[in-house]
Amino acid sequence: LSIVSGTAEYQLPADFIDMAELTDGLNTTATRGKSIPFLPVSKALAYSGDTLFAYLKGRYIGFVPTPTVATAYYYRYRKGATRLTSLSDYIDLPDGAFYALKSWMLFRAKQKFSDPASAMFYSEFSDQINLYVQSSVKRDPDLASWDIGSSSNT
């Protein structure tokens, strides 16, 4: 993140969900940057000290006090799930999430043929999705939904 003197807030990427780490130096195996602590927005906006703090406000990251020199901060973040807008979209499925997709497709296929094994695949799908729901952070309204859509199909 390139910091400009006199600028307090910066826009984060569109797929930003949650901050994992913010440092004043690049973390490598040889060096470790100093971690920059976060404050809640309400406290950050009222802060008047000299120690550098960061705050998250929607898809923006801000710094208090406002930086007075150009520098660079490094961050790692959790990215949001890909939104599908057409039948030919590509998706990035993290941490083996394709197993949940496979279980859903098998559930729908077995259901169409009245196979009693469909319940097993639905149970597997639900268990796999629940693993991802536990780490979901919703910042924007109506972007994350874990319900099965009425038009879902294989």
- Indicate yes or no: pTM above 0.85: no
Q: Is the pLDDT of residue 40 over 80?
A: yes
Q: 41-64: per-residue pLDDT in tens?
A: 889 889 988 999 999 988 899 999
pLDDT-derived band at 65 (thresholds 50, 70, 90) equals very high
The reported pLDDT for the residue numbered 132 is 66
Sequence-separated contacts (24+) of 71-74 with Cβ below 8 Å? 71/3, 71/24, 72/1, 72/2, 72/3, 73/1, 73/3, 73/22, 73/23, 73/24, 73/36, 74/1, 74/22, 74/23, 74/24, 74/25, 74/26, 74/27, 74/33
CA of 59: how far to CAs of 14, 44, 86, in Å?
7, 16, 25
